[in-house]
Structures are given as structure tokens and as C-alpha cells.
Structure 1
Amino acid sequence: MDVLIHVFVALHIIGIASLLGGFLTQLRAMSDGTARFSPAMLHGALTMLVTGAILVGLNQADDQTVNNIKIGVKLALLVVTLGLVYVKRDEEKVENSLFALVGGLTTANIFIAVLWT
């Protein structure tokens, strides 16, 4: 079971790297006002959602304690992020405030995962 959990943790990290990497690559375009959500950002957020749900299930099946409040906060941040990226994915330009919000929520999600014990 541990190997399976570690595989999904790795996939979860790949998803967050795709979402955050897509944001970071658009920072220069953000300063020009031409930033947009890339398909990699949408797929990264979806990967995070699916692998995160699987990880919660696997940890509960393995009789490990799961902090449901932490998972709920992370899920709420991810759902807002995913909603913004999904709704604005086809627009040529995204408002800087929305684009920065996605980067901030993604960064907050990372810090919650690492620092909330």
C-alpha cells in the first residue's frame, strides 16, 4: 500500500508542478497584460483533484489518520482554482487579478500541505 500511496503523491506533485509552472511561465505576459491560462494549468489542477481524492481514500483504507479540516481547506482552494482556470481557459487575455489569484491559491495550497501538521 505504501508504494501505491507514494506513486499517487508523485502524480499529485506533478499536477501541482504543472499548475504552478504554467503560472510562472506566464508572469512576463502578466506584466504585459496578455497572460492566459494554459491547458497545462487546467490539466494540472484536474490531476491534483483526482490524485488528492485518491490519496485521501488510500490513506483512510490504510488506517492512517487524515486531517479532514486540512483536506477540506485544500479542496476548497483547489475547487476555486480549478473553476477559475476552467471558466477562463479559452480567453485570449485574463485579468491580472484573477491570474494572480490562481497563483496565490496554488502557492497557499502548497504551504498548507507542507506546514499544516
Structure 2
Amino acid sequence: MDVLIHLFVGLHIIGIAALLGGFLTQMKAMGSGTARFVPGMLHGALTMLVTGAVLVGLNQADDHSVDNIKIGVKLALLIVILGLVYVKRDEERVDKRLFGLVGLLTCANIFIAVLWT
């Protein structure tokens, strides 16, 4: 079971890398007001959602304790991120405040995962 959990943790990290990487590649464009949500950001957020749900299930099945409040906060942030990226994915330009909000929420989600014990 540990190998399976580690596999999904790796996939979860790949998802966050795709989301954050898409944001970081658009930072220069954000400064000039031409940033857009690239497909990799949507795919990364969806990967995070699916692998996160699987990780919660696998950890509970393996009798590891799961902090449901932490998972709920992370899920709420991810749903906001996913909603913004999904709704605005076809727009040629995204408002820089909205784009920055996605980056901020993504970083918040990372720090919640790492620092909340």
C-alpha cells in the first residue's frame, strides 16, 4: 500500500508542478496584461483533484490519520482555482488580479500541505 501511496504523491506533485509552472511561465505576460490560463494549468489542477481524493482514500484505507479540516481547506482552495481556470481558459487575456489570485491560492495550497501539521 505504501508504494501506491507514494506513487499518487508523486502524481500529485506533478499536478502542482503543472499548475504552478503554467502560472510562472505567464508571469512576464501578467505584467503586460496579456496573461492567459494555459491548458497545462487546467490539467494540473484536475490532476491534483483526482490524486488528492485518491490519496485521502488510500490513507484512510491504510488506517493513517487524515486531518479532515486540512483536506477540506485544501479542497476548497483547489475548487476555487479549478473554477477560475476552467471558466477563463478560453479567454485570450485574463485580468492580472484574477491571474495573480490563482498563483496566490496555488502557493497557499502548497504551504498548507507542507506546514499544517
Partner of 1:68: 68
Partner of 2:24: 24
Query: How far does the alpha carbon of each residue in 1:83-110 deviate from its partner, in whole angstroms, 9 at most, with x for none?
Result: 0000000000000010000000000000
- TM-score, normalising length: structure 1: 1.00
User: What fraction of aligned residue pairs are identical, expressed as a percent?
Assistant: 81
Letter in structure 2 aligned against 1:97: R
Partner of 1:39: 39
Partner of 1:103: 103
> 2: CA distance between counterparts of 1:85 and 1:27?
15
Runs ≥4 residues deviating over 4 A: none
Report the alpha carbon displacement of residue 75 of structure 1 after superposing the two structures with TM: 0.1
State the aligned residue count: 117
Q: Does 1:8 align with 2:33?
A: no
Once superposed, what is the RMSD of the aligned Cα atoms? 0.2
Query: How far does the alpha carbon of each residue in 1:24-75 deviate from its partner, in whole angstroms, 9 at most, with x for none?
Result: 0000000010000000000000000000000000000000000000000000
- TM-score, normalising length: structure 2: 1.00
Q: Secondary structure at the match of 2:34?
A: coil
Letter in structure 1 aligned against 2:73: V
Letter in structure 1 aligned against 2:49: L
Report the alpha carbon displacement of residue 78 of structure 1 after superposing the two structures with TM: 0.1
> 1: CA distance between counterparts of 2:24 and 2:56?
28
Partner of 2:91: 91
Q: Secondary structure at the match of 2:89?
A: coil
For structure 2, the 5+ residue unaligned runs are none
